[in-house]
Amino acid sequence: MKTNKSKIRLTISYGYDTHSLELPSDEFDLIKEGKSIVIKGQGFFIEGEFTQDYWIFNNKSLKIACENTFQVFEGSINDIIQIENV
């Protein structure tokens, strides 16, 4: 029997745009506890080229970095502007 896991969408604003990430709610519970987790985002385009983003959670800090070394965001989980169930 397949179980339905609830998901959470996190949204962060970095001044020029917003980025969102969907993850299982139990992973978000671990993040709120301060656990270290790296999650591969959905990726996005920068100046016409696709780049992969990574959301790096560590002791309630948050960094969003891209494979092309572009740093999207650095702050804390308190900077998340929207948390919603999906």
- Per DSSP (E only), the strands in the chain are 7-13, 18-24, 37-40, 44-46, 49-51, 53-58, 61-66, 71-76, 82-85
pLDDT on residue 55: 96
pLDDT on residue 4: 59
pLDDT on residue 3: 54
In a domain, 22, yes or no: yes
The pLDDT tens digits for 13-70 are 988 889 899 999 999 999 999 999 999 999 988 888 899 999 999 999 999 999 988 8
Query: How many domains does one find in the chain?
Result: 1
- pTM exceeds 0.85: yes
- Could you list the residue range(s) of the whole structural domain that residue 50 is in? 7-85
In a domain, 38, yes or no: yes
pLDDT on residue 1: 47
pLDDT on residue 15: 81
In a domain, 2, yes or no: no
In a domain, 1, yes or no: no
